[in-house]
Amino acid sequence: MKNHITDEKTGIGYTLQGDYYLPDLALPAEKEQPIGIWGQRHLRYIRQHKRLLYTNLLTACKLNSYLADIDRQSEELFSRLVKEMAEREGVTEELKAQNQMAWVGKMNNIRSRATEIVNNELIYS
């Protein structure tokens, strides 16, 4: 038996796997885009909890662009939230110059709350 055959009508190649010929099918290449921490967190979440969505995006070759979009949206939301919370709570460069430890503590608190909001709104939903 031959290891590889090609159907003349369809042009599809088949490779022998055990006793069966399986078609040589491959997904088209998807444009690679960088995915940051938010996109990676969402990928981990949909792999474990939203398997149908993950499989549909993967087989439609849209997973990478979907994750890049989630990452971009999350980063924009995070930056905007941190900026707005800092302004509302009076965490300014002046405070940073006067009392650096208080500024660091307040900024860490703001970043933590903003992270929690982004996680609830975009990443784990």
Tell me the domain boundaries of the chain. 1-30, 36-123
* 121: helix, strand or coil: helix
For residue 5, what pLDDT is reported?
86
pTM, full prediction: 0.76
**Residue 31 in contact with residue 18, Cβ under 8 Å?**
no
Q: Using the predicted structure, report yes or no on whether residue 122 has a pLDDT greater than 90.
A: yes
Per-residue pLDDT tens over the stretch 48-96 = 999 999 999 998 889 999 999 999 999 999 999 999 999 999 999 999 9
Q: Note whether 75 and 36 are within 8 A (CB).
A: yes
